[in-house]
Chain A
Amino acid sequence: EVQLLESGGGLLQPGGSLRLSCAASGFTFSSYAMSWVRQAPGKGLEWVSTISGSGGRTDYVDSVKGRFTISRDNSKTTLYLQMNSLRAEDTAVYFCAKVNGDWGQGTLVTVSS
């Protein structure tokens, strides 16, 4: 059974940093591209970033380029999202997802002064 478990969310002030983690199990992690998708309160879904299975290719939505970094540790079957210079508009539930596959349950990030 595929399991994706996000962690690392929380409340922080604008300008702060946070690292999200997504622990994966139940599939050959290194064979799959992985994504982060977010959902602001009461809003729709927004793709944030995708990383290839090897980690050699990464892509980002323009609004987070230069501030967020996606990475993965295939030996630990874990996906990460390093979030810097956080803004109020980054407030959302962040989901990790196997591309064309399962999603985690999400972790809430709240950016507020």
Chain B
Amino acid sequence: DIQMTQSPSSLSASVGDRVTMTCRASQAISNYLAWFQQKPGKAPKPLIYAASYLQSGVPSKFSGSGSGTDFTLTISSLQPEDFATYYCQQYNSYPWTFGQGTKVDIK
């Protein structure tokens, strides 16, 4: 199985900060990577697919990059509604696997 490792596990940031988090796959997954945002008690919201393509309706402050084993999610200017947990997921091969999440909270 492909293991997905996210770092950091949590981070504290201020409104307006540029935030970057990473996701590393245990083997190459091309660009078959998605990012999700989840707020407490809510369903995950898809943000990005194919490593760098924004889902419809997702603001352009979110961006994704990477290919192979190393990926990043960047939020260009953190807003109050962005405080949440972010998950990556590989869908290159079954079983599909998620990272353990990066929790973004208020500094």
* Given A100-B49, A103-B44, A103-B46: A47 and B87 interface contact (C-beta under 8 Å): no
B46 A59 Cβ-Cβ under 8 A: no
| In the complex, B52 has a CB within 8 A of chain A | no
A50 B96 Cβ-Cβ under 8 A: yes
Choice from A46, A61, A100, A106 contacting B43 with Cβ under 8 Å: A106
Complex-state Cα separation, A101 to B101, whole angstroms: 19
Complex-state Cα separation, A59 to B42, whole angstroms: 26
Complex-state Cα separation, A78 to B19, whole angstroms: 39
Q: How many A-B residue pairs have CB under 8 A?
A: 46
List residues of chain B with CB within 8 A of the CB of A54.
none
List residues of chain B with CB within 8 A of the CB of A62.
95
Complex-state Cα separation, A44 to B100, whole angstroms: 6
Q: Count of chain B residues with Cβ under 8 Å from any Cβ of A?
A: 22
- Give the shortest distance, in Å, between A71 (CB) and chain B (any CB): 17
| In the complex, B89 has a CB within 8 A of chain A | yes
Of all chain A residues, the one with the shortest Cβ separation from B45 is: A103
| In the complex, B62 has a CB within 8 A of chain A | no
Interface residues of chain B, those whose CB is within 8 Å of chain A, are: 34, 36, 38, 42-46, 49-50, 55, 87, 89, 91, 94-101
Q: Can you give 29 contacting A-B residue pairs, CB < 8 Å?
A: A37-B44, A44-B87, A44-B101, A45-B38, A45-B44, A45-B89, A45-B98, A45-B101, A46-B98, A47-B89, A47-B95, A47-B96, A50-B94, A50-B96, A59-B94, A59-B95, A61-B95, A62-B95, A95-B43, A100-B34, A100-B46, A101-B46, A101-B55, A103-B43, A103-B44, A103-B45, A103-B46, A105-B43, A106-B43
Interface residues of chain A, those whose CB is within 8 Å of chain B, are: 35, 37, 44-47, 50, 59-62, 95, 99-106
